[in-house]
Amino acid sequence: MKAVAIQAFGSPEGMKVIDLPAPVPAAGQVLIATEAIGVGGVDAVIRRGALAAHGFAEGHVPGGEVAGTVTAVGDGVGISWVGRRVWASTGVGGGYAEQAIAPVGEVLPLPPGLSAVDAVTLGGPGVVAHFALAHARFAPGESVLVRGAAGSIGITAVQLAARGGAAAVAVTTSSAERGDRLRTLGATHALDRSGNGDEDAPAGYDVVLDVVAGVGMPAFLGRLNPNGRMVVVGVVGGQPPADFGTTIMAAFRRSLSFATFSAGTVAGPARRAVRTEQFAAASRGELRTVVHEVLPLEHAVPAHRKMDAGEVFGRIVLTP
């Protein structure tokens, strides 16, 4: 089968199309003929070699999210899965391929009306957005700021906060055009990356959902109302300053909360239930997916170049 592997860490050009034997599903796994492959920000982090210390070696096939048709099952998996169109999390890799393996617990049937492309745009990020808002104890009537809202996590978080009855949903983004697009998804205020640019925006927020982190993080902690909660779900802007803890302590008398959130800490059945609900909502048109571009699998290199250049609004999807 055709697959894309990271042959050399670094630039997108280090990825090559190669031929691999089709994988064989082990016990508890399914084999999927892929129709759509989500290109995630974490794929680029792995490609750059930033996670080499965590066991990612050259030769790795990236891709954590696919949709397609189950063609074979391993021991202990019901044969009725074969022939079903599904979404699946493949874990930390293996997705950029014509055939991919996934544990059956991470496989969900696609509802009628939801395309494979839409499924890999919503499947992973939607669950992160949902549980991160829950982790922040977001309640109707509260004001929310989504920092780094132009990616798939932010785009879903904006919609969920708006649908959940937020009093205001502010976003940070790098252009007015992106701000306008986020307004059509439920944002009420569009700010620049430093959190300025709209005089009518709330002075403080009850919840800050941060996909960016990096050196700008302390300033956004400062935007919280008393008893406000900041939840970091991504680090697309790098690590925060080493003295970030001092910033939290300096705001001691405002009773702020800071947390990280990883969807990996949510029990499988809870993730599955929310994903099922979100897929149904998307198939009814109540939750929107934003697909930046659909490209052939062989175009993984230009796909990553576009990500590195910051051109992507929503998600790029590859098709074999």
Q: Shortest gap between Cβ of 154 and ligand NAP (angstroms)?
A: 5
Cα distances (Å, whole numbers) of residue 315 to 43, 116, 181, 292: 12, 13, 14, 5
Residue number, 11 or 262, with CB nearest to ligand NAP? 262
- Token digits of residue 314: 């929503």
Q: Shortest gap between Cβ of 122 and ligand NAP (angstroms)?
A: 12
Q: Shortest gap between Cβ of 151 and ligand NAP (angstroms)?
A: 2
Across the strands, what pairs with 32? 70, 100
Residues constituting the chain:
320
Q: Shortest gap between Cβ of 80 and ligand NAP (angstroms)?
A: 30
Residue number, 180 or 298, with CB nearest to ligand NAP? 180
- Measured at CB, which residue is nearest to ligand NAP? 151
Residue number, 99 or 152, with CB nearest to ligand NAP? 152
Q: Shortest gap between Cβ of 112 and ligand NAP (angstroms)?
A: 27
Residue number, 205 or 261, with CB nearest to ligand NAP? 261
Using alpha carbons only, how large is the chain's radius of gyration in Å?
20
Q: Shortest gap between Cβ of 128 and ligand NAP (angstroms)?
A: 4
The residue ranges that bind ligand NAP (CB under 6 A) are 40-42, 124-125, 128, 148, 150-154, 173-174, 178, 193, 211-212, 214, 233-237, 261-263, 310
Residue number, 24 or 215, with CB nearest to ligand NAP? 215
Residue number, 73 or 307, with CB nearest to ligand NAP? 307
